[in-house]
Structure 1
């Protein structure tokens, strides 16, 4: 309450200063210009001439300044003039009496003169020094040198939450509403964080044996895997205050502002200990320092302050710093050393079991029909993050509402998988019959090459319905179980499957289309990884020819070899892709009749399941169907 009253007083002082400045500005600049537009200046001799001609009707004399204001004419014809009294003119009074004009003199007191002098000359100086003092006091407090920061109010605050304030959002642990039971698919990460929770709840057990809690834990993983959710769960489990801030909020235009925010953040944390500080996207402020010319003084000062605070606070009070990033390779080494971020906790994409657990967790908030097979959905979504899976359940619920149902079905979830992966069905795109036929053969080519391989990734769906992602169709494969290792032969089979669409177009229509662009890109990427990173090239053997960029953000690899070797790498990549293309052509020639049969069936139905596809492929009709010559 006292703080609020102080803010109000400071706001009132500021408003009074602004109002006084406005009045003085009006008095000094505006009013004289207005008056000068109505009162005409004239010389003293002209004034005496008009007095002698009896044109002057009224005269006012200011004895303190010698200013004379007089009026001529009457009514609408009256005019007002201004002149200055000639010194020692004793004849003026008699002339005015003879002309019949009325006149008066104003004789101000000495005290009035002094007050007017003070108002005109000293008040602006007082206002300037008073405003400077108030602003200086405000800046000191904002920079953390003299207590907490305050706002002037009325929109005159300097920055959100005040200059130098951290801007961190404080939430009580129990108010986060999140515990470890709300996190699925990250069992290893939860186990690593449970020890931190135990320390925050029972610090005396660790103090008794002489152990200390890790000062910080760095959560590392791709976007959408639940790093922020885990940090909130730690606060919810420990029931301690939770300070959340993004790394970008420390970055300021003026040098020193970011460091002041770091100081304020840790000051608040010390007052509320035990507590948790969570810095999201810490790579924004924690990037490696550069000794070159391209330095950022503000960012480096902020990082130095963060390093000092993490190394200097008393960890026994129960302050734990959690941070999240998907660019760990860009962080400064001093930030990662023991004593600052003691633990690095991977928060990876969920495996098959994890995906199923995440789907079930989010499905608990939605009304579902009985018998939904979450395991089948999990097999269809390799590489999906927790955020993707949550979005799939939500999309399924939205689809159920659109279809007029009160519960989500298996069909809704499977359609939502397609929506998240490939986009919504595109109603505005209408393919011609020939284009539809080409796409049907293209997708059937992928499916047949995939089915005859022994890579254990059966086809689960084929569709030729255009999607908003730009795909005119797609073939979905579902792994039967989780795969952690991939052989050279399996990579070559994947390349062959990707070449199956283009091979079908060449085999049936004798020409190529642009529909294979994405397939070619993926096949080339796999072949290049085999040569430069995985040591799966017969020509180069176990030799690393490139460095992988950030794997959490989908970065590829960068060659680290000579120009001549780079040309040889291109030749080897080309050889692998051409080998896959030849395999696809050979497979489709051997299954030409099934290619026709399934493609025509797909063209008619537009979407078929993996079961339908396999039934047709494995069915022995006993005769060769008649189709036009390719």
Structure 2
């Protein structure tokens, strides 16, 4: 193990510090202490003492007057006031004029100040220097010194002081069902021991961020009514070798003392990543992981100590951590479905005042793909909007606007588009909506707006599915690509030029087309051969190609051909419905927002043919 030592400083450095400290004591501290014994009086007291002839010696300086009384035990000081007759009155009172008045000091005080005070300061300075030098002698002692004294920073919630129950967690029924068995074991372990069953030592909660993994762990402790130790994986990682392992030992020691209890390690991937076998200068993370594996093997599960952990990177965890006997149970905490989103909205809506007209199902449909944390944010944003509008309760409009705030950001009221730009954006957004509406396998249009948002969007078209869909056909995916290209197709058809507004559409269409070919096997030539693999599925997904460069070149060509084909289809749809395109774009230009009902009403209204054209026909 390679150890890194701080460079040692020469001893002359510490001698210089001591010398500077002695000089400061002699020239700064002692005179300051002596000066504090001078008694300061006002000028009136000084004049009274002159009249009563109580002044013995006096020294008139440029900015003050120092004098003593007849006893000579006290030194007085007062300010200067313009007085031409002062010297005469002092002379008549019998005062002596002295150029230097030395304050009489008690011999005991002088001895203490001259000897013991510097000695005490030097002892304190020596103690500080010795600690400083010991701290630089880390080296091989670091592991022993910190390994013996490392304490875990786990937060302990005794008897579930957080008060969170399963009823406070919605949308994760399967996870709650699996965790309820752990709660039952902590309540009545006898019935499990009677049949010879042993409870899993650990349960790993995996899922995207914001789905409620930490909340579920607290709910388990709340239902079981046992102490709950909570610590983050990053808190185990220290600079000194051995500190993390010591914290693991201390954590499990405390857990055994308070059994039955629950130990929750959040973001366990910080210490549980796969070991690559390479030696490094600081293998603190690996030692911490080894200690965690040892402790999970060594502690007695029959005492009722349950280990819960959470991560959104399960693929990066070490296989030794996931084997049976350590984290036996893997509990997925996925994004909620439609009913789950409705339940989550209702749970968070209990904390605010909500109007009777709020339709949670409509809000949940609009917030497809949202996590529990995002849904909580939607409810809170709706409450904040109600307060801004001076209302006492939240309405359906507040909920719908808060969904758009979470998705696209706040409205940018200070961004004013020119008339031409506003018209281009109107045709662009209506192009998306019209292509989507004219295709059979496409989600209905919910709302179209050209109000700029803080996310950078100048407008957007929102489509909302009628129900939950877990599978998508090839036709549906192709229709989505055509819808993405509808905005650019409208610009080409009407203005015969293109703008930068389609950048996000191009990115989404290309990503979807590539996935159809490389991952979904929707190309006859490649058939069911995977050309791409995905990692970190809970963190957006990182893709990596698994084919040769020649095949990648061919894939790029097929992606280009697929997007181009759907672009042509979108252009043809708009060309065939150019009258409705003009009508809808003009309505959107004037009103800035179209609801789904208004859009379908205009779209289904028959086109009026002028009488002159009818006669000619």
What TM-score do the two structures reach when normalised by structure 2? 0.78
Give the secondary-structure state (helix, strand or coil) at the position aligned to 2:205: strand
For 1:585 and 1:337, the matched residues in 2 are separated by 55
Unaligned runs of 5+ in 2: 1-14, 30-97, 101-114, 613-617
What does the per-residue CA deviation read over 1:470-523, in whole Å, with 9 as the maximum and x for residues that have no partner?
000000011111001111111101000000000000010001111000000001
Mapped contact 1:593–1:624 kept (Cα < 8 A): no
Q: Kindly indicate whether residue 527 of structure 2 is the aligned counterpart of residue 560 of structure 1.
A: no
Give the secondary-structure state (helix, strand or coil) at the position aligned to 2:310: strand
Aligned residue in 2 for 1:192: 178
Q: Structure 1 212/415 Cα, relative in aligned 2: closer, same or farther at 3 Å?
A: same
Mapped contact 2:142–2:240 kept (Cα < 8 A): no
Pairwise CA distance, 1:296: 4.8
For 2:547 and 2:134, the matched residues in 1 are separated by 63
For 1:426 and 1:467, the matched residues in 2 are separated by 5
For 1:622 and 1:377, the matched residues in 2 are separated by 36
What does the per-residue CA deviation read over 1:112-161, in whole Å, with 9 as the maximum and x for residues that have no partner?
xxx99xx89x989996999799999x99998464xxx6xxxxxxxxxxxx
Worse-superposed segment, 125-134 or 240-249? 125-134
Aligned residue in 2 for 1:581: 567
Q: Give the one of 235, 244, 256 matched to 1:249.
A: 235
Q: Structure 1 269/299 Cα, relative in aligned 2: closer, same or farther at 3 Å?
A: same
For 2:142 and 2:309, the matched residues in 1 are separated by 30
Q: Give the one of 334, 337, 340 matched to 1:348.
A: 334
For 2:607 and 2:28, the matched residues in 1 are separated by 105
Mapped contact 2:427–2:490 kept (Cα < 8 A): yes
Unaligned runs of 5+ in 1: 1-20, 36-74, 78-114, 150-163
For 1:535 and 1:167, the matched residues in 2 are separated by 49
Q: Give the one of 418, 421, 428 matched to 1:442.
A: 428
- 1:524-543 pair list within 5 angstroms: 524-543=510-529
What does the per-residue CA deviation read over 1:402-449, in whole Å, with 9 as the maximum and x for residues that have no partner?
111111100010000110100000011100010000000000000011
Q: Structure 1 127/585 Cα, relative in aligned 2: closer, same or farther at 3 Å?
A: closer
Q: Kindly indicate whether residue 167 of structure 2 is the aligned counterpart of residue 181 of structure 1.
A: yes
Q: Give the one of 454, 460, 463 matched to 2:449.
A: 463
Give the secondary-structure state (helix, strand or coil) at the position aligned to 2:263: strand
Mapped contact 1:446–1:500 kept (Cα < 8 A): yes
Pairwise CA distance, 1:563: 0.7
Mapped contact 1:462–1:475 kept (Cα < 8 A): yes
Q: RMSD in angstroms over aligned alpha carbons?
A: 3.1
Aligned residue in 2 for 1:303: 289
For 2:334 and 2:597, the matched residues in 1 are separated by 32
Q: Give the one of 596, 601, 620 matched to 2:582.
A: 596
Mapped contact 1:173–1:242 kept (Cα < 8 A): yes
Q: Kindly indicate whether residue 214 of structure 2 is the aligned counterpart of residue 228 of structure 1.
A: yes
Mapped contact 1:377–1:414 kept (Cα < 8 A): yes
Q: Structure 1 624/252 Cα, relative in aligned 2: closer, same or farther at 3 Å?
A: farther
Aligned residue in 2 for 1:418: 404
For 2:510 and 2:123, the matched residues in 1 are separated by 78
Give the secondary-structure state (helix, strand or coil) at the position aligned to 2:421: helix
What TM-score do the two structures reach when normalised by structure 1? 0.76
What does the per-residue CA deviation read over 1:48-86, in whole Å, with 9 as the maximum and x for residues that have no partner?
xxxxxxxxxxxxxxxxxxxxxxxxxxx989xxxxxxxxx
Aligned residue in 2 for 1:317: 303
Q: Give the one of 495, 498, 508 matched to 1:522.
A: 508
For 1:130 and 1:430, the matched residues in 2 are separated by 68
